[in-house]
């Protein structure tokens, strides 16, 4: 097990190195330049030249790459030109926001998706089953940001129950955020109003982001439970006279959870794609919105640093998912 983990972690090095080269070349292949994006209408050849020298963009590519790599190894990704702050500082502010949003969304998707899929399978062929299947189809086909607007319109503009955009009210600006996870911060500092404010701001974005994973998890759970219910060992268990509860817990759920856990593990990519749209639609200051904004402003440092860290997190999450399979299914225990 330990050898497996070490080998996978060592594999991270060539993957990240390859990605750093690809990213470095990609940002420089984007049409236009940071200097032009920064100056906009006021761009003159001399001014562009000045900024390029200041940013080190006048150097040959291999020199630029070497400088980037040397700094990145010390976890220094330079300065973001959109915010004029160090990229690492921006990461510290934005990763907690996106992780908080993503984890909440995944919790919603799992806690609702699995029971919905399970009961749909148990009531196979009834209107309840039909309803869950149709709802999950709509959930998959509705554009994330359209859903975001509809929810904002109904729950923020019309009903006024929930905040429209952002992560906190303006009056909460002086609240301290030691970790950047607003919900966690409020709990740690025992600040009740800040906690309810953070949670209320999380509801609509998290529900929006949860929709697609929820629909997928519900569908997979339904299909998996239907498959297991038809298995011989379930019939045997019934014939043995086991109670319905025991059969469900020991046989049906445990076996049906294998494909479901694989699916949950695969949701991180979708969550990241969804976070870009959700954060932009709710003006939620997270990683997705910052990276999406970095492209039009040709913020090289942000794009290189953020995407590299996202990719590293991805590989680590996949590793955790692989390890967790062994815990759920003894048959795939890794050696």
Partner 1 sequence: MSLQVAESAIQQAEHADEAGGGLWREAFRRLVRKPAAIIGAIFVAIFVIVAVFAPLIAPYSPTATDLSQIKGPGHIPGPSSTHWLGLDDLGRDVFSRMIYGARQSLVVGVVSMAFGMVGGIILGLLAGGLGGWVDATIMRFVDMMLAIPGLLFAIGIAAMLGQSLVSVMIAIGVVNIPVFARLLRGQMLAQREADYALAAKSLGVKRSRIILGHVFPNSLSPVIVQGTLTLATAIIEAAGLAFLGLSGADPAIPEWGRMLADTQKFLTSAPQLVFYPGIAIVLSALGFTLLGESLREALDPKNRR
Q: Is 80 in the site for partner 1 (CB under 8 A)?
A: no
- Find the Cα–Cα–Cα–Cα dihedral 267, 273, 277, 282, rounded to 10°: 50
* Rg of the chain (C-alpha set): 24
Q: What are phi and psi of 207, to 5 degrees?
A: -65, -45
Residue 159 near partner 1 by CB under 8 A: no
Number of residues that bind partner 1 (CB under 8 A): 36
Task: Return the residues of window 86-115 that contact partner 1 according to CB under 8 A.
Answer: none
Q: Which of 6, 9, 63, 138 is in the footprint of partner 1 by CB under 8 A?
A: 138
127-141 vs 192-229: helix crossing angle, rounded to 10: 120
Residue 244's CB is within 10 A of a number of other CB atoms, namely 10
Phi first, then psi: give them for residue 79, nearest 5 degrees.
-115, 135
Q: How far is the CB of 168 from partner 1 (least distance, A)?
A: 21
Does position 50 interact with partner 1 (CB under 8 A)? The reply is no
Nearer to partner 1, 187 or 272 (CB): 272
Query: According to CB under 8 A, which one of 141, 159, 173, 230 is a site residue for partner 1?
Result: 141
- How many whole angstroms separate alpha carbon 312 and alpha carbon 8? 12
Neighbours of 300 (CB within 10 A): 25
Q: Are 163 and 147 in contact (CB under 8 A)?
A: no
All residues at 6 or more sequence positions from 232 whose CB lies less than 8 Å from its CB, including other chains = none
H or E stretch including 250? none
Work out the end-to-end distance of the chain between its first and last CA atoms, rounded to an integer number of angstroms. Answer: 5
Provide the minimum distance between the beta carbon of 215 and partner 1 in the complex, in angstroms, as a whole number.
11
55 vs 151 by CB, closer to partner 1: 151
* Nearer to partner 1 (CB atom), residue 26 or residue 75: 26
Q: Which is nearer to partner 1, 223 or 258 (CB)?
A: 223
CA distance 259 to 227: 11
**CB closer to partner 1 out of 75 and 146:** 146
Contacts of 52 (CB under 8 A, 6+ apart): 33, 35, 58
Task: Establish if 155 lies at the interface with partner 1 (CB under 8 A).
Answer: no
Minimum CB distance to partner 1 smaller for 57 or for 311 = 311
* CB 296 within 8 Å of CB 307: no
If the CB atoms of residues 78 and 102 are measured against partner 1, the closer one turns out to be 102
Q: How far is the CB of 273 from partner 1 (least distance, A)?
A: 3
Q: Which residues, 6+ apart, have CB-to-CB distance to 25 below 8 Å?
A: none
Is 91 within 8 Å of 193 (Cβ atoms)? Answer: no
Stretch that binds partner 1, among 75-83, 190-198, 249-257, 304-312 (CB under 8 A): 304-312
Q: Does 291 bind partner 1 (CB under 8 A)?
A: yes
Chosen residue from 26, 66, 75, 161 binding partner 1 by CB under 8 A: 26
272 binds partner 1 (CB under 8 A): yes
CB of 195 to partner 1, least distance (A): 28
Give yes or no for residue 30 binding partner 1 (CB under 8 A): yes
Using rule CB under 8 A, residue 273 touches partner 1: yes
CB of 107 or CB of 154, closer to partner 1: 154
The overall longest dimension of the chain from CA atoms, in Å, is 86
Instruction: Decide if residue 244 touches partner 1 (CB under 8 A).
Output: no
Phi/psi of residue 72, nearest 5 degrees: -60, -35
Q: Which stretch binds partner 1 (CB under 8 A): 4-12, 43-51, 105-113, 277-285?
A: 277-285
Interface with partner 1 (CB under 8 A) = 26, 29-31, 137-138, 140-146, 149-150, 152-153, 157, 269-270, 272-274, 276-277, 280-281, 291-292, 295-296, 307, 310-311, 314-315
């Amino acid at each position: 097990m330990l050898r497996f983990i070490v080998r996978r972690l060592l594999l991270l090095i060539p993957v990240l190195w390859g990605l750093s080269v690809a990213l470095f070349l990609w940002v420089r292949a984007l049409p236009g330049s940071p200097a032009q994006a920064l100056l906009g209408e006021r761009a003159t050849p001399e001014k562009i030249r000045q900024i390029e020298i200041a940013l080190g963009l006048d150097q040959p590519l291999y020199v630029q790459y070497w400088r980037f790599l040397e700094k990145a190894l010390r976890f220094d990704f330079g300065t973001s030109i959109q915010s004029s702050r160090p990229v690492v500082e921006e990461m510290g502010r934005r990763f907690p926001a996106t992780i908080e949003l993503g984890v909440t969304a995944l919790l919603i998707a799992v806690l609702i998706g699995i029971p919905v899929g399970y009961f749909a399978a148990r009531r196979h062929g009834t209107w309840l089953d039909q309803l869950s299947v149709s709802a999950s189809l709509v959930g998959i086909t509705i554009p994330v940001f359209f859903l975001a607007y509809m929810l904002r319109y109904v729950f923020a503009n019309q009903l006024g129950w929930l905040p429209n955009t952002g992560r906190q009210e303006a009056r909460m600006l002086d609240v301290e955020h030691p970790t950047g996870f607003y919900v966690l911060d409020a709990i740690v500092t025992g600040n009740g109003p800040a906690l309810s404010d953070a949670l209320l701001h999380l509801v609509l974005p998290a529900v929006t982001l949860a929709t697609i994973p929820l629909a997928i998890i519900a569908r997979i759970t339904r299909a998996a439970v239907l498959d297991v219910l038809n298995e011989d060992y379930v019939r045997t268990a019934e014939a043995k006279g086991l109670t319905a509860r025991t059969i469900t817990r020991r046989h049906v759920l445990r076996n049906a959870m294998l494909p479901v856990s694989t699916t949950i593990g695969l949701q991180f990519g979708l969550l990241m794609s969804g976070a870009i749209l959700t954060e932009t639609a709710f003006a939620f200051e997270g990683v997705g919105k910052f990276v999406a904004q970095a492209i039009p402003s040709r913020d090289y440092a942000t794009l290189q640093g953020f995407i590299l860290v996202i990719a590293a997190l991805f590989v680590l999450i996949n590793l955790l998912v692989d390890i967790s399979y062994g815990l759920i299914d003894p048959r795939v225990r890794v050696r």
